[in-house]
Amino acid sequence: MTSWLLLAQDPPSAGAQMSPMLLMIGLMALFFFIVILPANRRQRREQETMLKSLKRGAKVLTTSGIYGTVVSLKETEDEMVIRSEDTKLRVKKSLVVQVLGSDEAEAAK
């Protein structure tokens, strides 16, 4: 009787084995398009508006952890000069992570 039951069962087909894998890939793609992609777009848009609002005297924080005050910047270039303590540094605008405030007196030094 047991041999009859074993013969009656069909071996799993290749399509049945691929079904869970396709489901997992589909869920990962759906997660990417619904969660990750819009978050990246929003972050990029916020960064662009922050960089457009930069002006002389703004206190900034760079990605390398340097706090400084914007001394000069040009709208046409991606570089600006910041002053940190007794040092002036030339950095790219895209390295600014956060604008902390404004101090015109410190930028005039």
Sole residue written with tokens 């270039």: 77
pLDDT of residue 21: 85
pLDDT of residue 101: 81
Query: Residue 85: inside a domain, yes or no?
Result: yes
Work out how many domains the chain is built from and give that number: 2
Helix (H, G, I), strand (E, B) or coil at 61: strand
pLDDT higher than 90, residue 40: yes
Q: Which domain holds residue 103?
A: 55-107
pLDDT higher than 90, residue 41: yes
Mean pLDDT of all residues in 86-103: 87
pTM (two decimals): 0.61
Beta strands in the chain (DSSP E): 58-62, 67-73, 79-84, 87-92, 96-102
Mean pLDDT of all residues in 82-91: 90
Question: What CATH number should be reported for the domain holding residue 68?
Answer: 2.30.30.100
Question: For the segment 46-81, what is each residue's pLDDT rounded down to a tens digit?
Answer: 988 988 888 888 999 999 999 999 999 888 888 889
pLDDT higher than 60, residue 90: yes
Nearest one of 74, 108, 101, 105 to 90, comparing CA atoms: 74
